[in-house]
């Protein structure tokens, strides 16, 4: 949802009412995942996407004609398949509704603050289009539903997607993945941009204040002028954390690895040649690091694509992180 927040908030100042379209179910080669969203203003402009371009025009036309909550289906069995561009075999269902302003304020604010948000939208009956929002802990943070209805659908918050038998769609917005860059080197300058564009929040760690500056790193969320073991002790990496160790200085890299390897971090990569890494392994073993943990280190960092320039190396690092994130290991 992060990619539509700024424009939607701008439109709310001058283009209300707005319509919201959400993918609730897909089959086959549909290009967008369940939960993908598109907001449409009164002039027919859109932000976001429900199909990567295949059915947007049809959804916009429908939304402008019918502001009431309703479900649209597109696919090869539909007589409009060729017109809307899904003749390749994909199918999808899209829920279209007027943008609930109170829900939007809550959901957008929680997204910007990297808080898990679970929205259950009822799709059938007299309460069609109404919602309840839970925090990760199960606390209701917004609803326009009666208490007795909330009580009956509360167990659904542990599920995800379209539940036809319940006439409900459960949409879970997770916090952004977190990229931790250790070392404010040239590769890191390019890496910050790739990561931000791909929806990561980015933290930069480097005790060298002249290297780690906001002028050089305008796309990071936080800069820490401390040694990495101090920072990682304050914000322990979890399964949504990806760590790129890039300084090439053992005084910085080694403490980062000693602190990161025992954690749940999903990815730990190190910029290094093989001879340098062999020396590093000896140092870490001498420091008491479990040899089993040392096998977690990905080095040379990034996918092997023959990268040479800092930007190319940053690209191969980000590609490897995306592969770890998206491809079952």
Span 129-140, pLDDT tens digits: 999 999 999 999
Q: What's the pLDDT at 91? A: 83
The domain locations on the chain are: 1-99, 101-175, 178-326
- Average confidence score pLDDT of the chain: 92
- Listed in order, strand segments (DSSP E) in 80-187 are 91-98, 117-122, 131-135, 140-143, 161-163, 168-173, 178-182
Helix, strand, coil percent values for the chain (each to nearest 5): 35, 25, 40
Q: How far, CA to CA in Å, does 91 sit from each of 86, 99, 165?
A: 7, 24, 20
Residue 79 above 90 pLDDT? no
| pLDDT tens, residue by residue, 18-41 | 999 999 998 876 677 899 999 999
> How large is the average pLDDT for residues 294-305?
94
For the ranges 73-82, 155-164, 235-244, 274-283, which has the lowest average pLDDT? 73-82
Give the pLDDT band (50/70/90) at residue 284: very high
Domain range 178-326, its CATH number among 3.90.78.10, 3.40.50.720, 3.40.1160.10, 3.40.50.1220: 3.40.50.720
Name the token pair of 281: 């392994």
Q: Tell whether the model's pLDDT for residue 78 goes beyond 70.
A: no
For residues 246-251, give the mean pLDDT: 95
Is 75 or 118 the better-scoring residue by pLDDT? 118
Q: Pick from 78, 54, 59, 79: which is nearest to 70 by CA?
A: 59
Output the pLDDT for position 33: 86
Residue 84 has pLDDT above 80, yes or no: no
């Amino acid at each position: 949802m992060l990619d539509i927040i700024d424009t939607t908030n701008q439109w709310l100042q001058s283009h209300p009412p707005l319509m919201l379209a959400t993918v609730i179910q897909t089959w086959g080669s549909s290009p967008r995942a369940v939960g993908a969203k598109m907001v449409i203003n009164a002039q027919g402009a859109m932000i976001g996407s429900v199909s990567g371009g295949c059915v947007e025009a049809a959804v916009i036309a429908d939304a402008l004609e019918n502001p009431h909550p309703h479900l649209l289906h597109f696919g090869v069995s539909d007589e409009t398949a060729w017109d809307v561009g899904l003749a390749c075999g994909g199918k999808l269902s899209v829920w279209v509704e007027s943008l609930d302003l109170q829900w939007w304020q809550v959901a957008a604010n929680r997204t910007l603050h990297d808080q898990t948000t679970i929205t259950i939208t009822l799709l059938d009956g007299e309460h069609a289009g109404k919602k309840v929002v839970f925090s990760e802990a199960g606390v209701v943070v917004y609803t326009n539903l009666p208490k007795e209805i909330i009580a009956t659908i509360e167990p659904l918050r542990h599920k995800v997607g379209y539940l036809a038998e319940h006439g409900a769609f459960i949409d879970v917005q997770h916090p952004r993945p977190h990229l931790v860059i250790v070392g404010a080197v040239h590769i890191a300058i390019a890496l910050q941009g790739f990561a931000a564009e791909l929806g990561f929040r980015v933290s930069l760690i480097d005790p060298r204040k002249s290297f780690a500056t906001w002028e050089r790193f305008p796309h990071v969320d936080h800069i820490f002028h401390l040694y990495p073991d101090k920072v990682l002790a304050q914000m322990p990496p979890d399964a949504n954390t990806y760590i790129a160790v890039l300084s090439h200085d053992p005084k910085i890299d080694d403490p980062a690895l000693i602190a990161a390897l025992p954690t749940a971090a999903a990815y730990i990569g190190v910029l290094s040649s093989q001879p340098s890494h062999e020396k590093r392994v000896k140092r870490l073993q001498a420091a008491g690091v479990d040899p089993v943990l040392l096998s977690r280190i990905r080095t040379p960092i990034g996918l092997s694509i023959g990268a040479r320039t800092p930007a190319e190396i940053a690209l191969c690092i980000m590609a490897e992180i995306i592969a770890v994130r998206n491809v079952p290991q």
